[in-house]
Structures are given as C-alpha cells and as structure tokens.
Amino acid sequence: MDNASPEERIIAEAQEETGFRVTRIEPVFTAYMSPGSVTEKLYFFIAEYSPDDRQTGGGGLAEEGEDIEVLEWPLEQALQAIRDGEIVDAKTIMLLQHLALNSASLFAAERAKSDRV
C-alpha cells in the first residue's frame, strides 16, 4: 500500500488492527511527532463504528510482529487511563484529547442526523 492515500491506509489499518470496517472517516489533523529529527508526517483521523462493522478479531498481523490488544472504553475511562499513566502513546493521547475537546459538537451533530431520519 505504499502508493495508497492516507485515507486508504487508515481504512486498511483500522480493519487490520481493530477488526472493524470503517468507511466514513474524518481527517482531524496532520502532525510531525519530532520535526527536528524525523520527517514522517502523520495523518490523524476519527471514524464511527458499530458492532455490526466487526470483520475480524483485530490485533494486527502476526507476520508484521503485531500483537495489538483492542480495548473499547468509555471516553472518561480512557482519559483517566492517560492521567494514570496507563496510556502513554502520544498519538493515542492526541486523538483522545481531540475527542474530549470536541465530543459535545461531534455527538450533537450525530444526534441531529439521527433526529432527521
């Protein structure tokens, strides 16, 4: 997938690592984790999913040395895990903080959509 777009890659990675098929992804931001020493540009996305979207158990690919534990936590529990030092991955922290800062507007938009159906 070296020539794939960031959107194509995140859809494939989400299914590979979490087991969920996501189709409606939304770009959040792009960032360099350490611009003074690393030129890798990271693309951050959010996506909705439901139990019906599960395709596999997730966990990554053994042939790539991946052994990913998939956890589904309420937002407040995930934020507490950051405070407790259980979540230390910067990318995960950045996305959870984005969700915490924007959850009211994100969830309000979803409620408005479902009210129109």
Binding site per annotation, positions for Mg(2+): 13, 17, 66
CB atoms within 10 A of CB 10: 19
- Helix residue ranges, H only, 5-89: 6-18, 75-83
Q: How many CA atoms lie within 13 A of 99 on its CB side?
A: 18
Q: What residue numbers does the annotated binding site cover?
A: 13, 17, 66
Handedness of CA 43, 44, 46, 51 (dihedral sign): positive
